[in-house]
Structure 1
């Protein structure tokens, strides 16, 4: 049986009544349950006082039990028989909700009882919660007063409640603008200052004057044993904040503020017995201080008067006026300020240019600083590139990164190789000659990759041909895959050596060299790697063994009759210059030999028609020694049909070392354009 009694009481209602087990006092039946909840308004609690309890007893109250909780938190688990005194002393004091919370009682009985138990009965009521006794709720700094449903704070004489309605403080904000002389002190000076103060004093005079502060003896502002300010005094001017000040030593007196308008702030916490401070203020004529922030002033004086000019020089690594000035002149004004005034700020180099392709990258870019003196570290993202220079760069005083490294292509080092010297030529393995490029149209020939955006070939292969007509391929050995499995490399421009006069008469192939620039960087890999350029004036030595490669004509069916489907290469020696000067006749016309050429070959081994533009590299591939260098470009030679497979062969090659400077100059100019 549940009773609910509502009684009027001013502007709120009282909640009270009985809660008891089903069937009380005749006893409860098996499988009986009760779910009871009452909630209190703000500032009050719901409590239960049990006057009777007779339930089946069991371990941990597993059979029959009463569970009482406050806002879901269990506060009592009861079973068995309890007398009235035990309930009053040890149980009832626990049975109340939190302020403004809910109290829930759950009762259940199991399937059987050895005897019939009478159950329980309790009286619930609404009670006021005394917030003043709860330190977690009561935030009053001085007096707390409880009332039904809440509490309020009050203060001692001389204090007032702050806006938070809990903190007691004193009124100490004062505007003393216009006064040229006077005193400012902490509340109750020279007695102990109040707790929880937040004072602000405003002083303001004419612009041509500055305020001068004199501290009285007895300065005493609370300080921690470690030297930190518990309470603090701060002085704010138009350009800076002086302080905080605390302890027993006042600031140097007199304190020149170099300002005609200041605010004095004083704050204290809720404890302490310190006296505070007293400041006598007066005015004097304005002077300018030296400009010292990240700069030096010439001439240097302790103070400057109106009309005096100085030169401000920013410290090393600092610049003024958006980075345009390292030095400027300025004049002291009547208000104690310099004009013009440009703060010297630290140089910022910004993020370095990492170039295209994303190969050069920063180590831990999120942790890098780009200001003067900072260092950043780089790495190359691909194993087919190596870092040139130091991996670390420094931001210098001119706002530039010093020693910026580059990621240069690893050249002349194929990952695939074969062993043994094959005099008569051999089909290449994929990746064995990764710098070899293939030109299919409009002329048949070869080229060499020298970095990820440039190739070099013979001028007569690409001369007077629109770049759109040239089909260039890389990363292959099987010529039959072009246009199907392998796509051509897009070409941006073709640059023929300016001294090449063309070979229309087929008598002079001097300066037979041209550069091909790609539209974008190719992705290097095991099957596509550049060849190294030789040093200038390295010299091509008589008898030097090298490797020439290409898809040109091969000896088949007892004649040189067709081009090869698979890339071929052969190791051949360089001939003496005297033998090279004994040039063959082509189309019954005498050929010209110059210092820009060398010749090489052997019995049945040589480059042939269709190999033009292909590389001659040294050391030879079969030596297993690297890196390999491009020392020659297939240019011209004796007809392949002469001598069959065993006749003496002599091919002529453009001497690349004579054109390294030209190649580098072209690449540099293109990079800057």
Structure 2
């Protein structure tokens, strides 16, 4: 009875408190036994909290309460871990103030005892209550602008006289909407002017007059709208016309007076936040006859003035990089037009000067040249676009960026040029001084099998060069050309296809009548129907510089599938690509030409000759490359110095005699080759 009377004296004196019940450990107060437990949870309704008040605690004491313990938690978070003995005063002052839930939350109490106790402990006792939570005392919950009223399970807001509660049920605001349509003169002020305007204001004033008039606004002195120290508008005044929104205006500097709206219909919108003691604004409005404003959006006009009256005309010229648009499309020619001021204050005709758009460059779906991050690119005037080559067998020529110019074209578009004259390092050792080439060692070498046996050299991904006498007077569709191989027996496989040929262009000065005594200008170009896919085994050879000069003693490499000197029958050819390093002979030695078909042969400045002891090009090598530096040097890039053209029968002199082959001097034809490629690209 004594304990119960003490409990009654400690009850909170709140009209909202309700005592709901007791809680105690098993066997209280006689003492709890080993291996006992209690799991208790209580949840509060919305707007209320549940709390626990312990009035007695006597448990076995242990480090970190690992033996016997009371654990109290809320939302899974431990708020109290208790063991040992606590007197009533300590429980009241240090423990019980922590044992409450959040509004609408739950409290959980867990008790457990271990396997034994050295002495008897009575356990614990307490009571739980549900109590209304006063939201009005909690600043994190109470968002009422003016007044907060607490009730059992919740709260509500109210406002001072002259304000109404906003839709959020918390904010007290002043809303006003005044339609002054038809008035040609009057005043508009913020509420309470010149006293401080109300917080949370949202006011809209509408002015409307005849179409042949415009509204003119005059701001009184004392303009004062709240502004941050950084100059940003906290509260703001906006002026909206049929064509634009002006503002926001704030601070102590009003818009210039008179403020010409150039409109017969105006809305003035003023909003404020929940703080500040600023005065606001006062506007006197009146009307005047319509005038037209200068046309200055992305353009300039002749005879620029502050305003124009009905009937006055100007010429509008779009700024650089802008064009004006008719309904049917963009006009060509100078981007300017004439326009006249109308009685309603509008210009007619009126066209918008819009920024030039170059559009996406037409690169083609399979183009090697591609844009960097196309999703981030802009195609408007002045924008820059970056490009790259998607294959390691190409290099970017020129700047990697292009700019959209005022004519709607991309300037300085880069090109992806083929990497030339640089064979990939081979994993198979080269046979130095030998004859047999490995795959990819001479990747520019092309093989012509029909109707004549010969060769050609790849100079880019769509062109090859050969000797004119190999392809002269032969229809392009009858020529079978292969690339990317060294063993000609593989062309019988189904997966090896000839390169489709679009056209053959023989040098116009070549004369090919038989019996031939002059192989001057023995050069021809082969254009493919489409670009070939470059790779390790198919790469172009570089063209030499014009007038580089072919020097006596210069070492080069000639390659082909022609007859070998060891053949007893010089009409036979090799199945596998052969190459040999040979030096260039002197002009004197080259001028001493052999005879073919019992005719003396001509030596011209468009030729050079080369050979050595048992080393030379031979029958079937015609059209193939003579490159420098020689392949065995391992130094690149390699250049196409000559094209196999003609020479004496290979078997003369045997395998050890001096050989001499004649080559078309490619440097003399580089300009012709480039001109043909340029013309074909533009056709």
TM interval, shorter chain, is: 0.7 to 0.9
Partner of 1:491: 500
| 1:29 partner SS | coil
State which of 674, 677, 680 in structure 2 corresponds to 1:664. 674
Please, which runs of 5 or more residues in structure 2 have no aligned partner? 1-15
Deviation at 1:215, TM superposition (A): 0.8
Residue 573 of structure 2 is aligned to residue 569 of structure 1: no
| 1:660 partner SS | helix
Residue 103 of structure 2 is aligned to residue 106 of structure 1: no
| 2:95 partner SS | helix
Residue 645 of structure 2 is aligned to residue 644 of structure 1: no
State which of 508, 511, 514 in structure 1 corresponds to 2:524. 514
- For 2:94 and 2:657, the matched residues in 1 are separated by 120
Q: CA RMSD in A?
A: 3.4
- For 1:400 and 1:515, the matched residues in 2 are separated by 32
- For 2:478 and 2:105, the matched residues in 1 are separated by 84
The range that moved more, 52-61 or 483-492, is 483-492
Cα separation, partners in 2 of 1:227 and 1:301, compared to 1, 3 Å = same
State which of 440, 446, 455 in structure 1 corresponds to 2:455. 446
Cα separation, partners in 2 of 1:538 and 1:303, compared to 1, 3 Å = same
Residue 212 of structure 2 is aligned to residue 208 of structure 1: yes
Cα separation, partners in 2 of 1:14 and 1:508, compared to 1, 3 Å = farther
The range that moved more, 319-328 or 195-204, is 319-328
Deviation at 1:335, TM superposition (A): 2.4
Residue 179 of structure 2 is aligned to residue 175 of structure 1: yes
Give yes or no for contact 2:17–2:130 (8 Å, CA) kept in 1: no
Give yes or no for contact 1:386–1:409 (8 Å, CA) kept in 2: yes
- For 2:395 and 2:565, the matched residues in 1 are separated by 41
Give yes or no for contact 1:583–1:592 (8 Å, CA) kept in 2: no
- For 1:22 and 1:111, the matched residues in 2 are separated by 15
State which of 160, 165, 179 in structure 2 corresponds to 1:161. 165
Partner of 1:8: none
State which of 12, 23, 26 in structure 2 corresponds to 1:22. 26
Deviation at 1:158, TM superposition (A): 0.7
State which of 421, 444, 469 in structure 2 corresponds to 1:412. 421
Deviation at 1:555, TM superposition (A): 1.3
Give yes or no for contact 2:216–2:286 (8 Å, CA) kept in 1: yes
Deviation at 1:368, TM superposition (A): 4.8
Normalising by structure 1, report the TM-score. Answer: 0.87
Number of aligned residue pairs: give it.
658
Deviation at 1:207, TM superposition (A): 2.2
Residue 107 of structure 2 is aligned to residue 96 of structure 1: no
Give yes or no for contact 1:558–1:644 (8 Å, CA) kept in 2: no
Residue 588 of structure 2 is aligned to residue 584 of structure 1: no
The range that moved more, 594-603 or 440-449, is 594-603
The range that moved more, 275-284 or 71-80, is 71-80
Cα separation, partners in 2 of 1:69 and 1:566, compared to 1, 3 Å = same
Partner of 1:61: 65
Mapping of 1:112-123 within 5 angstroms? Answer: 112-123=116-127
Residue 47 of structure 2 is aligned to residue 37 of structure 1: no
Give yes or no for contact 2:47–2:154 (8 Å, CA) kept in 1: yes
- For 1:250 and 1:625, the matched residues in 2 are separated by 77
Deviation at 1:519, TM superposition (A): 5.0
Partner of 2:9: none
Normalising by structure 2, report the TM-score. Answer: 0.86
State the Cα deviation string for residues 409-446 of structure 1 (Å, max 9, x = none).
23234466999996xx7444554433222234454321
State the Cα deviation string for residues 296-353 of structure 1 (Å, max 9, x = none).
1112111112222211112222333276463222222222222333333333334445
Cα separation, partners in 2 of 1:557 and 1:455, compared to 1, 3 Å = closer
Partner of 1:9: none
State the Cα deviation string for residues 50-96 of structure 1 (Å, max 9, x = none).
23322222232222222222222222222223333333333333222
Deviation at 1:201, TM superposition (A): 1.5
State which of 613, 616, 621 in structure 1 corresponds to 2:623. 613
Partner of 1:196: 200
Cα separation, partners in 2 of 1:443 and 1:84, compared to 1, 3 Å = same
Mapping of 1:248-259 within 5 angstroms? Answer: 248-259=252-263
Cα separation, partners in 2 of 1:654 and 1:579, compared to 1, 3 Å = closer
Cα separation, partners in 2 of 1:268 and 1:336, compared to 1, 3 Å = same
- For 1:80 and 1:415, the matched residues in 2 are separated by 83
Partner of 2:5: none
Give yes or no for contact 1:349–1:371 (8 Å, CA) kept in 2: yes
Cα separation, partners in 2 of 1:539 and 1:92, compared to 1, 3 Å = closer
Partner of 1:455: 464
Partner of 1:553: 563
- For 1:419 and 1:41, the matched residues in 2 are separated by 89
State the Cα deviation string for residues 612-648 of structure 1 (Å, max 9, x = none).
2101234555667654432332233332233333455
State the Cα deviation string for residues 545-564 of structure 1 (Å, max 9, x = none).
54322110011165635323
Deviation at 1:530, TM superposition (A): 1.6
Cα separation, partners in 2 of 1:274 and 1:596, compared to 1, 3 Å = same
Residue 235 of structure 2 is aligned to residue 231 of structure 1: yes
| 2:148 partner SS | strand
- For 2:276 and 2:305, the matched residues in 1 are separated by 43
Give yes or no for contact 1:491–1:516 (8 Å, CA) kept in 2: no
Deviation at 1:286, TM superposition (A): 1.4
Cα separation, partners in 2 of 1:349 and 1:57, compared to 1, 3 Å = same
Residue 262 of structure 2 is aligned to residue 262 of structure 1: no
State the Cα deviation string for residues 118-148 of structure 1 (Å, max 9, x = none).
2222222322111111111111000000111
